[in-house]
């Protein structure tokens, strides 16, 4: 299977005043389509930085990052934005819904930016997704009328509505209780299976990690290894049906 994300010898440095911090040091990684990949590591190990590079919201200081066949280091802001819009979905730790828009509008938003579908097509797609994430009756609610778990479901629907090749999730369950977090992971796994969407998520929750096909372990900006969850002593659990 072809690599959907290909990272070679990437270094990412941040200038914090006079100090230069290396967030990633010579990282190389390949992700294949359809993977359900977890990035694990302690705080400050570079998980979020790695996700940002893959998500085209940031570019490497050196080395190559190829996403869906495009080298992000060579793309203008405009093209990076288009790449994000069409190929990548985002799920954030704090859900990041637009508070003044309804659930329906939040999910519809990327489709409006794409300007590819008609109003009825958009409606059909949004409503189908809402059913899938179990929020069929909540289309007109505002985000602040929903629980955390419900909000993250809306965020998942928003990430998937453009049918992207990759969905990135940065600590998607960190702000949720364990049961709700479990449900969210189950939902993501479902989507991964049914639509073949590649999921890459960061977490330090072993419970969440156990769902992954593979776990990339990071420490101090370097990839320690790429292992299966079992290999690091996590019992693999199946998603709830």
Which residues contribute to the site for another protein (CB under 8 A)?
48, 51-52, 55, 57-58, 77-78, 81-82, 84-86, 89-90, 92-94, 96, 98-101, 105, 109-110, 112-119, 158-159, 162, 170
* Closest to another protein by CB, 158 or 229: 158
CB of 136 to another protein, least distance (A): 22
**CA distances (Å), origin 222, targets 117, 169, 171:** 42, 20, 19
* Closest to another protein by CB, 96 or 180: 96
* Closest to another protein by CB, 84 or 211: 84
CB of 100 to another protein, least distance (A): 3
**CA 50 and chain centroid, separation:** 11
Contacts of residues 10-13 at CB distance under 8 Å and 24 or more positions apart, as own/partner, are 10/53, 10/60, 10/62, 10/63, 10/64, 10/65, 11/60, 11/61, 11/62, 11/63, 12/46, 12/49, 12/53, 12/58, 12/60, 12/61, 12/221, 13/61
* Closest to another protein by CB, 3 or 98: 98
Q: Which of 80, 79, 85, 89 is nearest to 133 (CA)?
A: 89
**CA 148 and chain centroid, separation:** 17
* Closest to another protein by CB, 59 or 207: 59
CB of 109 to another protein, least distance (A): 7
**CA distances (Å), origin 31, targets 24, 49, 107, 216:** 17, 16, 27, 10
CB of 85 to another protein, least distance (A): 3
* Closest to another protein by CB, 47 or 217: 47
CB of 234 to another protein, least distance (A): 25
CB of 115 to another protein, least distance (A): 3
* Closest to another protein by CB, 20 or 119: 119
**CA distances (Å), origin 22, targets 9, 71, 91:** 13, 21, 25
CB of 206 to another protein, least distance (A): 21
């Amino acid at each position: 299977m072809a690599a959907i994300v290909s990272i070679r010898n990437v270094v990412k440095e941040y200038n914090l005043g006079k100090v230069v911090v290396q967030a990633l040091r010579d990282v190389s990684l390949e992700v294949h389509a359809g993977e359900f990949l977890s990035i694990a590591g302690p705080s400050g190990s570079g998980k979020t930085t790695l996700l940002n590079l893959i998500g085209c919201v940031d570019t490497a200081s050196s080395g190559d990052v190829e996403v869906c066949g495009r080298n992000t280091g060579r793309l203008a802001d405009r093209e990076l934005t288009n790449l994000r819009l069409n190929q990548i979905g985002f799920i954030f730790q704090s859900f990041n819904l637009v508070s003044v828009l309804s659930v329906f509008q939040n999910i519809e938003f990327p489709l409006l930016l794409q300007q590819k579908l008609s109003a009825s097509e958009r409606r059909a797609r949004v409503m189908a997704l809402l059913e899938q994430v179990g929020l069929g009756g909540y289309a007109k609610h505002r985000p602040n009328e929903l629980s955390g778990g419900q909000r993250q479901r809306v965020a998942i629907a928003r990430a998937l509505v453009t049918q992207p090749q990759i969905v990135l999730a940065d600590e998607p369950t960190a702000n949720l209780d364990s049961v709700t977090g479990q449900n969210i992971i189950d939902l993501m796994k479902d989507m991964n299976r049914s639509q073949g969407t590649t999921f890459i998520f960061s977490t330090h929750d072993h419970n969440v990690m156990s769902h992954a096909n593979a776990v990339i372990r990071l420490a101090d900006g370097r990839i320690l290894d790429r292992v299966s969850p079992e290999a690091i002593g996590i019992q693999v659990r199946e998603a709830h049906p």
